[in-house]
């Protein structure tokens, strides 16, 4: 199958075609030719951008167990609508992603979007016994984590870091101290004090990062910190990297845009985990991306249905969906965080962390592309929401910039490209 894109502006800082307007011919999922005035380039993308397909480090697609919130099919549609060609699927489903069958099930659903299962590191995510890590890796698990549950058990963390060294595997932890975060509904600070809500102090995260770094020094291996949220976390990871430790980290888009002040109206769509921190932390996270300390950006896609969100604040569950609005969100902060950085951190960044092949916008490369209209204004509402859930801080907001579709190898999501 042949596809010809015409007059597309390449947005890929690592490509020699960056910011050039070119035609791109794709045949059987491979980029055959890039140039000007190419024959067969019949899809006019004037004013549109073509970037590498976005990659998500950890999205929860809720299947099995909570298919009423999201399932893999709906999750794929959401991902495509956000410009994602690759998604690492979080293990905290019910039951957890911890068997060979579970891993194969997820991988078998790959299509418009390539799915990369992250397997549970502990049985039932309880932090007590290791899962069959070697078998899970053999069947395609790209990393091991307990999802939103922190690996609280230091003995298990140590053994996991040792055990995965056979295949240079990656352990992902959500840095959070169980004791210091118990009963917490937001960041502990001036805002939580004035709202009378129990907060999680920053030290909960920082303590765990310090702990894990010490364990990593002792055990060896590789660790990735998922969704760091504080200024000091950035400093700690910077130091660890300077010492040559194999440490990586990501930040969620929510933490780049919002702060605890956004919770002042008790809007549960801003109730996420880790909690939104202060604006000082937010700025430090942006700086951490620019300086290279933070390796990747995640949307932290975590669907929750109305019954779990439209509630009193302390009863509502954590999480927000984010795949569909990723580009618009990053576009909204481009003055603080240039798109050259943020797009790199959501395309190459996640792939480097989990060790996926790096696509390129180059002749002979596999086509993993996303098409964007950087100018399109749209309002995120129920009519255009692709997720089964609608728990987003962007509900009802006017956004600028929209994904128009993806090309993932041989699969072109043409139904979205049709209206170009």
Partner 1 sequence: MSQLNTKHLLGIKDLTAEEINLIFETADGFKDVLNRPIKKVPSLRDVTVANVFFENSTRTRLSFELAEKRLSADVINFSSSSSSVKKGETLLDTVNNILSMKVDMIVMRHSSPGAPHFLAKHIDANIINAGDGTHEHPTQALLDSFSIREKLGDVAGRKVVIVGDILHSRVALSNIFALQKLGAEVMVCGPATLLPKHISSLGVKVELDIRKALEWCDVANILRIQLERQKMRYFPSLREYSQHYGVNKQLLDTLNKEIVIMHPGPINRGVEITSDVADSDHSIILQQVENGVAVRMAVLYLLAGKKAG
Distances from the Cα of 326 to the Cαs of 198, 309, 332, in angstroms?
29, 21, 10
- Quote the CA–CA distance of 27 and 311 in Å, as a whole number: 50
Question: Which is nearer to partner 1, 163 or 394 (by Cβ)?
Answer: 394
Per-residue binder mask for partner 1 (CB under 8 A), 143-182, x = binder: ----------------------------------------
- Quote the CA–CA distance of 75 and 77 in Å, as a whole number: 5
Q: Does residue 180 contact residue 204 with C-beta atoms inside 8 Å? A: yes
- Residue 201 touching partner 1 (CB under 8 A): yes
Q: Which helix (H) or strand (E) holds 180?
A: helix 178-181
Distance of CA 29 to the CA centre of its chain: 24
Among 195, 207, 366, 420, binds partner 1 (CB under 8 A): 195
Q: Categorise residue 19: left if φ over 0, alpha if ψ from -120 to 50, beta otherwise.
A: left
State in angstroms the smallest separation of the CB of 368 from partner 1.
41
- Residue 313 touching partner 1 (CB under 8 A): yes
State in angstroms the smallest separation of the CB of 196 from partner 1.
3
Per-residue binder mask for partner 1 (CB under 8 A), 265-284, x = binder: xx------------------
- Residue 29 touching partner 1 (CB under 8 A): no
Among 1, 39, 179, 196, binds partner 1 (CB under 8 A): 196
Question: Which is nearer to partner 1, 215 or 263 (by Cβ)?
Answer: 263
Interacting stretch for partner 1, rule CB under 8 A, among 93-101, 304-312, 400-408, 412-420?
304-312
- Quote the CA–CA distance of 368 and 362 in Å, as a whole number: 11
Q: Does residue 191 contact residue 264 with C-beta atoms inside 8 Å? A: yes
- Quote the CA–CA distance of 101 and 394 in Å, as a whole number: 36
- Quote the CA–CA distance of 321 and 333 in Å, as a whole number: 19
State in angstroms the smallest separation of the CB of 385 from partner 1.
19
Q: How many residues interact with partner 1 (rule CB under 8 A)?
A: 20
- Residue 335 touching partner 1 (CB under 8 A): no
Among 46, 154, 178, 190, binds partner 1 (CB under 8 A): 190
Q: Rg of the Cα trace of the chain? A: 21
* Chain residues in the site for partner 1 (CB under 8 A): 188-190, 192-198, 201, 265-266, 307, 310-315
């Amino acid at each position: 199958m042949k596809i010809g894109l015409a007059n597309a502006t390449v947005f890929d800082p690592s490509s020699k075609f960056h910011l050039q307007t070119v035609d791109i011919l794709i045949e059987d999922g491979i980029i055959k030719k890039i140039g000007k005035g190419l024959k067969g380039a019949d899809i006019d993308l004037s004013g549109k951008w073509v970037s590498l397909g976005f990659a998500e480090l950890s999205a929860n697609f809720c299947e099995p167990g909570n298919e009423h919130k999201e399932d893999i099919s709906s999750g794929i549609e959401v991902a495509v609508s956000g410009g994602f060609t690759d998604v690492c699927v979080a293990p905290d489903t019910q039951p957890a992603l911890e068997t060979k069958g579970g891993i194969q099930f997820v991988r078998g659903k790959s299509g418009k979007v390539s799915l990369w299962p992250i397997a549970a590191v502990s049985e039932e995510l309880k932090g007590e016994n290791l899962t069959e890590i070697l078998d899970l890796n053999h069947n395609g698990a790209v990393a091991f984590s307990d999802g939103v549950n922190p690996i609280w058990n230091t003995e298990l963390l140590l053994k996991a870091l040792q055990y995965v060294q056979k295949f240079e595997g990656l352990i992902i932890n959500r840095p959070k101290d169980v004791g210091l975060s118990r009963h917490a509904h937001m960041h502990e600070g001036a805002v939580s004090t004035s709202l009378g809500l129990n907060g999680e102090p920053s030290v909960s995260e920082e303590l765990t990062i310090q702990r894990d770094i010490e364990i990593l020094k002792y055990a060896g291996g590789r660790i990735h910190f998922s969704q760091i949220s504080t200024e000091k976390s950035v400093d700690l990871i910077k130091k660890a990297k300077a010492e040559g430790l194999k440490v990586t980290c990501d930040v969620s888009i929510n933490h780049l845009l919002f702060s605890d002040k956004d919770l002042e109206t008790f809007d549960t769509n801003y109730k996420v985990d880790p909690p939104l921190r202060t604006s000082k932390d937010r700025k430090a996270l942006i700086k951490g991306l620019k300086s290279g300390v933070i390796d990747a950006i995640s949307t932290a896609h975590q669907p929750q249905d109305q019954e779990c969100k439209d509630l009193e604040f302390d009863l509502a569950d954590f999480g927000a969906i984010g795949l569909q609005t990723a580009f618009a969100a990053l576009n909204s902060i481009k003055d603080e965080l240039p798109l050259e950085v943020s797009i790199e951190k959501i395309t190459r960044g996640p792939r480097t962390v989990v060790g996926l092949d790096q696509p390129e916008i180059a002749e002979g490369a596999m086509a993993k592309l996303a098409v964007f209209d950087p100018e399109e204004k749209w309002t995120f509402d129920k009519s255009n929401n692709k997720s089964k859930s609608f728990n987003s801080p962007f509900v009802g907001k006017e956004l600028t910039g929209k994904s128009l579709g993806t090309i993932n190898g041989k699969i072109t999501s043409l139904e979205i490209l049709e209206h170009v």
